[in-house]
Amino acid sequence: MKRLFNEHEARKVLDLNGNWQFKLDSENVGESQGWQNGLTNGETVIVPSCFNNELRLLNYEGCAWYEKKFKTNGGTLCFEFGSVMTKADVWLDGKWIGEHYGAFTQFELIVNDVSAGEHTLIVRADSRLDALSFPQRYTDWFNYGGIARDVYLNELKGISILSNHIENELSDDLKSAKVNAVIELYNANSTSTTSNVSVTVGDTVIYNEAVSLDGYEKKTIVTPNIVLDNIELWSTKSPRLYTVVAKTETDDLIDKIGFRKIEVKEGNILLNGKSIELLGVNRHEEHPDWGFAFPSKLMKKDIDLILDMGCNTVRGSHYPNSRIFVDMLDEKGILLWSEIPMWGCGFSEESLKNEELMERGFNMHKEMVKYYYNHPSIIIWGMHNEIPTYSKNSYPISEKWSKYLRENGGNRLITHASCHPMRDGDMGFDDIICINIYHGWYRYGGYDGNLKDWDKMIEQFDARRKEKGWEDKPVVMSEFGAGALAGFHSHFDTVKWSEEYQRDLIEYTLELFHKTPYMRGTYIWQFANIRTSPSTDLNRVRYFNNKGIVDEYRNPKAAYFKIRELYKRFADEEK
């Protein structure tokens, strides 16, 4: 996949990005008309991209077909897709080779015994949202479609490495780490094969053994624990990364890891044993000109702005972000909250009882853990956002998912973002309690609709958490904010949509949360304006969610400078 470094030196990888043939299928008739055998009268588009950024397709939701011709040496091929929005079906030379559901995680399809020469790869991307989709039809971001992240072709030879997780546990004094690898292997030969398999972390070989697999067999090996002494920790101030190289006689996989410990103690969040206040923003990986096919240069710019504002963390709302973006966070020492696209209001109480739908969500968690496991920057797994957690239907889901993430997700804090703090039934499963509320912007029942509502809420929630015995769980304000139309100013601090109103609301709330002893972090909603969907009834002004601290072209609004002042002061106070 596209990373900040090459994942392979030994393996032959072909870049399948660039020109593809493209054809719209608004009636979904392509398969019955044989488009899987080849597209006629297609037009040329660039992959990766979202089709909604093509002329005339601004609001299109539905199927679109893509075709790419490529040459290969043949043998066993592994097609690697960074993200197809939302359902993908893939054909090779007219033969269906697999499918994938879910817009924001990568997937691979392996095909054996392919002849050398030219071949045709066809992808149908279906962006429709329905009762079984994540998110559901009703959502607050634009539902872009297409092949939004990179596509690569890997030629697999002999025993190949599909994935490699490095599990690690730090000693109490944080000076050494117990490490082992969980390596997923695949034999690309049709006959039984033996190969040496080795794993190196930094300069230390932690595994080096011969392994045998039957023809086309998949096998996962868990290597014994090795203790690494004198390790350097990964932290926000000194994000030390170690290179991990897994090798067989015919293949390799390179990755980076960091050693760090995240935990909660007596209501505090501790990174490497030291209390940290999370100073963050929510960020969608979206831009009106590229949709979710977000260019790496812009990721770098977002990170520069986020650091300039004094943030030490980002919430990847509301889905797994590109791996290369997470690499950048690893490198810069910025903490990340990663979650699946289970967006609130869209999910009804009834939908939580739909087993097929919930199985999809569970699978998305498994994929998120699979691909993002090694990134040290990810300190939080978010289960879901604003679903009806007051209903008994969400309880078994949060119970199952939190258990899975705790047992399989490495050293991370588990949470969900709740907009029902006073009646949420699932907070007991969380390591940190996360609250989304917009007092001063939206009006909530039982509140007056002004800034003073915050003080009342803080008092009420304090009483609830004490009554429930949740004093040890730090509370983080995971969403709050106000809309502002860039360039709209007012002398009156009561004029909503002005830059001043947004700035003053954020100043008020940040100061208040910072001085509230049980609160240990803030994620302002949101970093940049985003496009929203005209087909939902949210009726967003300009069809944008305008709560960005920067506008959609990354120009700062007045709040930007206030946040920079406050976050820098808060960070200094922590020292």
**Encoding tokens for residue 32?**
């019955």
Q: Give 87 or 547: the residue with its C-beta nearer to ligand ADA.
A: 547
552 contributes a contact to ligand ADA by CB under 6 A? no
Q: Give 140 or 285: the residue with its C-beta nearer to ligand ADA.
A: 140
Q: Give 198 or 536: the residue with its C-beta nearer to ligand ADA.
A: 536
From 389, 436, 522, 529, residue interacting with ligand ADA (rule: CB under 6 A)? 436
Work out how close the CB of 432 gets to ligand ADA at its nearest, in angstroms, rounded to a whole number.
17
In angstroms, rounded to a whole number, what is the distance separating the alpha carbons of residues 510 and 566?
8
Work out how close the CB of 352 gets to ligand ADA at its nearest, in angstroms, rounded to a whole number.
17
Q: Give 51 or 144: the residue with its C-beta nearer to ligand ADA.
A: 144
From 252, 545, 558, 563, residue interacting with ligand ADA (rule: CB under 6 A)? 545
From 89, 140, 327, 426, residue interacting with ligand ADA (rule: CB under 6 A)? 140
Q: Report 218-237 residues binding ligand ADA (CB under 6 A).
A: none
Work out how close the CB of 62 gets to ligand ADA at its nearest, in angstroms, rounded to a whole number.
24
386 contributes a contact to ligand ADA by CB under 6 A? yes
Give phi and psi for 95, each to the nearest 5.
-105, 130
Which distant-in-sequence residues (6+ apart) come within 8 Å of 142 by Cβ?
A: 52, 286, 291, 530, 531, 532, 533, 543
Work out how close the CB of 547 gets to ligand ADA at its nearest, in angstroms, rounded to a whole number.
5
385 contributes a contact to ligand ADA by CB under 6 A? yes
344 contributes a contact to ligand ADA by CB under 6 A? yes
Sign of CA dihedral 348, 351, 353, 358: negative
Residues that contact ligand ADA, how many (by CB under 6 A): 11
Work out how close the CB of 557 gets to ligand ADA at its nearest, in angstroms, rounded to a whole number.
15
Residue for token pair 């969900």: 416
520: left (phi over 0), alpha (psi -120 to 50) or beta: alpha
Classify residue 216 as exposed, middle or buried by CB count within 10 Å of its CB (0-12, 13-18, 19+): middle
Work out how close the CB of 524 gets to ligand ADA at its nearest, in angstroms, rounded to a whole number.
11
Work out how close the CB of 380 gets to ligand ADA at its nearest, in angstroms, rounded to a whole number.
15
248 contributes a contact to ligand ADA by CB under 6 A? no
Which among 153, 66, 526 is positioned nearest to 314, based on CA atoms? 526
Q: Give 291 or 344: the residue with its C-beta nearer to ligand ADA.
A: 344
Which among 532, 427, 526, 537 is positioned nearest to 482, based on CA atoms? 526
In angstroms, rounded to a whole number, what is the distance separating the alpha carbons of residues 222 and 408?
14
Work out how close the CB of 485 gets to ligand ADA at its nearest, in angstroms, rounded to a whole number.
14
Q: Give 7 or 285: the residue with its C-beta nearer to ligand ADA.
A: 285
Q: Give 110 or 477: the residue with its C-beta nearer to ligand ADA.
A: 477
Give phi and psi for 36, each to the nearest 5.
-65, -15
Work out how close the CB of 318 gets to ligand ADA at its nearest, in angstroms, rounded to a whole number.
6
**Cis, peptide link before residue 100, omega less than 30° from 0:** no
In angstroms, rounded to a whole number, what is the distance separating the alpha carbons of residues 439 and 271?
30
Work out how close the CB of 345 gets to ligand ADA at its nearest, in angstroms, rounded to a whole number.
8
Residue type, 186: Y
547 contributes a contact to ligand ADA by CB under 6 A? yes
Give phi and psi for 424, each to the nearest 5.
-70, 130
Kindly tell me the number of DSSP H helices and DSSP E strands found in the chain: 7, 33
Other CB atoms closer than 10 Å to residue 500's CB: what's the count? Answer: 19
479 contributes a contact to ligand ADA by CB under 6 A? yes
Q: Give 121 or 519: the residue with its C-beta nearer to ligand ADA.
A: 519
**Encoding tokens for residue 346?**
């869209």
Bridge partner residues of 219 (DSSP): 185
Give the distance from CA 298 to its chain's centroid.
17
Q: Give 146 or 344: the residue with its C-beta nearer to ligand ADA.
A: 344
Work out how close the CB of 477 gets to ligand ADA at its nearest, in angstroms, rounded to a whole number.
11
Q: Give 259 or 441: the residue with its C-beta nearer to ligand ADA.
A: 441
Work out how close the CB of 567 gets to ligand ADA at its nearest, in angstroms, rounded to a whole number.
21
Work out how close the CB of 153 gets to ligand ADA at its nearest, in angstroms, rounded to a whole number.
36
Radius of gyration of the chain from its Cα atoms, rounded to whole angstroms: 24
Q: Give 368 or 419: the residue with its C-beta nearer to ligand ADA.
A: 419
In this chain, which residue has its C-beta nearest to ligand ADA? Answer: 140
Work out how close the CB of 173 gets to ligand ADA at its nearest, in angstroms, rounded to a whole number.
40
From 66, 347, 525, 567, residue interacting with ligand ADA (rule: CB under 6 A)? 525
In angstroms, rounded to a whole number, what is the distance separating the alpha carbons of residues 309 and 177?
34
Q: Report 392-421 residues binding ligand ADA (CB under 6 A).
A: 419
Per-residue DSSP letters for 144-190? Answer: --EE-S-EEEEEE-SEEEEEEEEEEEE-TTSS-EEEEEEEEEEE-SS
Q: Give 66 or 343: the residue with its C-beta nearer to ligand ADA.
A: 343
339 contributes a contact to ligand ADA by CB under 6 A? no
Helix (H, G, I), strand (E, B) or coil at 519: strand
292 contributes a contact to ligand ADA by CB under 6 A? no
509 contributes a contact to ligand ADA by CB under 6 A? no
Q: Give 235 or 545: the residue with its C-beta nearer to ligand ADA.
A: 545
Q: Give 280 or 344: the residue with its C-beta nearer to ligand ADA.
A: 344
Give the distance from CA 213 to its chain's centroid.
34
In angstroms, rounded to a whole number, what is the distance separating the alpha carbons of residues 391 and 382?
19
**Cis, peptide link before residue 517, omega less than 30° from 0:** no
Bridge partner residues of 19 (DSSP): 46
- List residues binding ligand ADA (CB under 6 A): 140, 318, 344, 385-386, 419, 436, 479, 525, 545, 547
